[in-house]
Chains A and B, each alone.
Chain A
């Protein structure tokens, strides 16, 4: 079993896929709701304190906006722990999204900078693409298992 970082980190579908194939998903454990009544699309369940942006200084300089640093204090340790990653690009908001595009950029860069297996797939726009999308993720995760058992 590998620890697989999922991007978007709020994607329940990705989280579920990773778990189904026997790995541990590393994500936000938040879902994107159909109606948004909170401050942001992926509001944290617990109140984050001003300490979190300070902890985020480990991952981003002080000149980086506090919202990015606060998110990095949450995702930074998960990226450090990740042994693999599945990245879905250009995803629909409902599939899973992060509120801040700058954090997205930093998370993706941090993942790509790590020496771990990464699958990058584009979000499917048709049924046919959807089948290929799931198959690609399945193969990637299955190979992870093979590598681990080998």
Chain B
């Protein structure tokens, strides 16, 4: 039996919001345990004073004292979970500053989250899984080179991707929309193997990631089943050839987005959002459909347009699309509409997610949406940096899985 990963919880409000049980359940599901760093009441005020953030709420003061105890090594933990009430400004400041403080002064992986009473264990599961992966598989995540012949499969909400890697090179790829999870996985595996000129018997290890990772992992007999936060981080820095040092990985997916602050290929802090479809690849798919172009044509189209010519009244996928329709009816060009849609998605990700991680260059965009040039351009403008889109970026999860799976080749 593996030792439980000990996750220190720094929080304000989860008990009175009725979600503490959900936090326990999510941690329990990934064989981790939540604990509350033991601090003396008498030490709380001095810790707050030393930290220098003069907050009013006692639970936030307690969170600050606990963060200091963790950073100063007075309390042992494997990871940190910071959680406060959604819509509390005071808590948002503390959450943000504690995340940064712990990230900069320790090697503890940190994830922060703002909850409502509707937060469930399911929502928290991938975040908890990523925390435990970082704590448990640090050695595996340090792997920088793929060896042997491995297969990686990423079963995403919109698309399923597979790659075959051989001696540190991608030799086969497969891509299909996710329809029936297992069937789509089998199809992409067959495509990747065919392109590589190999058979299933040649594969020495298999890794799976994405929403369907457990199902396809069992189906394929995978050696490694791992959530997409750590896998994509690894895949991103590997493909961008930036395995050492700091970087930021942005993955705007079909159902949720990930913003990950990475150090030496391992996520330090990350956010994962999936509440609003208007900030997802789905919005761009809908825009492409409305414009009568393939999604692959939307990016080049957007680059020719000027988004500010199109008034967007809402980030919402329904009302935002309505704004685009209205603009087309008022005579806006498809190019301008495409650019406005890309800007809308980039801006929403920028405002709602990238504020929760420290942006360190290079900024690497991955996932299928990274092929939409207009989106990459819009994000680059917002962040005022040149975004790196590595080769095979749409296969990021599959590449990360294949790379990490090579650590499971017998004798390796």
Question: Which of A's residues lie within 8 Å of B, judged by CB?
Answer: 32-44, 47-54, 63-71, 74, 93-94, 97-102, 104
Check if A100 sits within 8 Å of B13, measured CB to CB: yes
Task: Report the separation of the CA atoms of residues A51 and B17 in the bound assembly, to the nearest whole angstrom.
Answer: 9
In the complex, B115 has a CB within 8 A of chain A? yes
Give chain A residues whose Cβ lies under 8 Å from the Cβ of B55. Answer: 101
Check if B36 sits within 8 Å of A37, measured CB to CB: yes
In the complex, B167 has a CB within 8 A of chain A? no
Smallest CB-CB A-B distances: 6 pairs = A67-B13, A70-B16, A101-B56, A65-B85, A99-B59, A66-B17
Q: Choose from B38, B44, B57 the contact partner of A100 (Cβ within 8 Å).
A: B57
Are A64 and B87 CB-contacts (below 8 A) given A35-B38, A39-B20, A43-B15?
yes
Task: Report the separation of the CA atoms of residues A53 and B18 in the bound assembly, to the nearest whole angstrom.
Answer: 7
Q: Across the two chains, which residue of chain A brings its CB closest to B22? A: A50
Check if A101 sits within 8 Å of B90, measured CB to CB: yes
Give chain A residues whose Cβ lies under 8 Å from the Cβ of B18. Answer: 47-53, 66, 70
Check if A67 sits within 8 Å of B39, measured CB to CB: no
Q: How far in angstroms is the closest Cβ of chain B from A73?
A: 8
Give chain B residues whose Cβ lies under 8 Å from the Cβ of A40. Answer: 11-13, 15-16, 58-59, 62
Question: Which of B's residues lie within 8 Å of A, judged by CB?
Answer: 9, 11-21, 36, 38-42, 44-45, 55-62, 85-88, 90-91, 115-118
Give chain A residues whose Cβ lies under 8 Å from the Cβ of B9. Answer: 39
Additional A-B contact list (17), CB under 8 Å, known A65-B13, A69-B17, A93-B45: A35-B39, A36-B39, A36-B41, A39-B36, A40-B62, A41-B62, A52-B18, A52-B117, A65-B17, A65-B87, A67-B14, A69-B117, A70-B15, A70-B17, A74-B16, A100-B12, A101-B56
Q: Choose from A64, A74, A98 the contact partner of B58 (Cβ within 8 Å).
A: A98
CB pairs A–B below 8 angstroms (7 shown) = A33-B41, A41-B41, A65-B13, A65-B17, A68-B13, A93-B41, A98-B58
Q: How far in angstroms is the closest Cβ of chain A from B98?
A: 15
Q: How far in angstroms is the closest Cβ of chain B from A135?
A: 28
Q: Choose from B19, B38, B86 the contact partner of A65 (Cβ within 8 Å).
A: B86
Give chain B residues whose Cβ lies under 8 Å from the Cβ of A51. Answer: 18
Q: How far in angstroms is the closest Cβ of chain A from B236?
A: 34
Give chain B residues whose Cβ lies under 8 Å from the Cβ of A34. Answer: 40-42
Give chain B residues whose Cβ lies under 8 Å from the Cβ of A44. Answer: 15-16
Check if B36 sits within 8 Å of A54, measured CB to CB: no
Give chain B residues whose Cβ lies under 8 Å from the Cβ of A53. Answer: 16-18, 116-117
Give chain A residues whose Cβ lies under 8 Å from the Cβ of B86. Answer: 65-66
Check if B16 sits within 8 Å of A48, measured CB to CB: yes
Q: Across the two chains, which residue of chain B brings its CB closest to A43? A: B15
Give chain B residues whose Cβ lies under 8 Å from the Cβ of A64. Answer: 87
Give chain B residues whose Cβ lies under 8 Å from the Cβ of A36. Answer: 36, 38-41, 44, 62
Task: Report the separation of the CA atoms of residues A37 and B90 in the bound assembly, to the nearest whole angstrom.
Answer: 23
Check if A67 sits within 8 Å of B88, measured CB to CB: yes
Task: Report the separation of the CA atoms of residues A50 and B18 in the bound assembly, to the nearest whole angstrom.
Answer: 4
Q: How far in angstroms is the closest Cβ of chain A from B81?
A: 11
Give chain B residues whose Cβ lies under 8 Å from the Cβ of A104. Answer: 56
Give chain B residues whose Cβ lies under 8 Å from the Cβ of A102. Answer: 57, 88, 90
Q: Across the two chains, which residue of chain A brings its CB closest to B20? A: A39
Q: Choose from B40, B56, B85 the contact partner of A66 (Cβ within 8 Å).
A: B85
Task: Report the separation of the CA atoms of residues A42 and B13 in the bound assembly, to the nearest whole angstrom.
Answer: 10
Q: How far in angstroms is the closest Cβ of chain B from A99?
A: 3
Give chain B residues whose Cβ lies under 8 Å from the Cβ of A54. Answer: 117
Task: Report the separation of the CA atoms of residues A33 and B39 in the bound assembly, to the nearest whole angstrom.
Answer: 10
Are A99 and B12 CB-contacts (below 8 A) given A36-B36, A93-B44?
yes
Task: Report the separation of the CA atoms of residues A35 and B44 in the bound assembly, to the nearest whole angstrom.
Answer: 10
Task: Report the separation of the CA atoms of residues A123 and B146 in the bound assembly, to the nearest whole angstrom.
Answer: 65
Give chain A residues whose Cβ lies under 8 Å from the Cβ of B21. Answer: 47, 49
Q: How far in angstroms is the closest Cβ of chain A from B307?
A: 31
Give chain B residues whose Cβ lies under 8 Å from the Cβ of A38. Answer: 36
Q: Across the two chains, which residue of chain B brings its CB closest to A49? A: B18
Q: How far in angstroms is the closest Cβ of chain A from B93?
A: 13
Task: Report the separation of the CA atoms of residues A68 and B118 in the bound assembly, to the nearest whole angstrom.
Answer: 15
Task: Report the separation of the CA atoms of residues A69 and B61 in the bound assembly, to the nearest whole angstrom.
Answer: 20
Check if A63 sits within 8 Å of B118, measured CB to CB: no
Q: Choose from A41, A67, A97 the contact partner of B17 (Cβ within 8 Å).
A: A67
Q: How far in angstroms is the closest Cβ of chain B from A104?
A: 8
Check if A47 sits within 8 Å of B115, measured CB to CB: no
Task: Report the separation of the CA atoms of residues A39 and B20 in the bound assembly, to the nearest whole angstrom.
Answer: 9
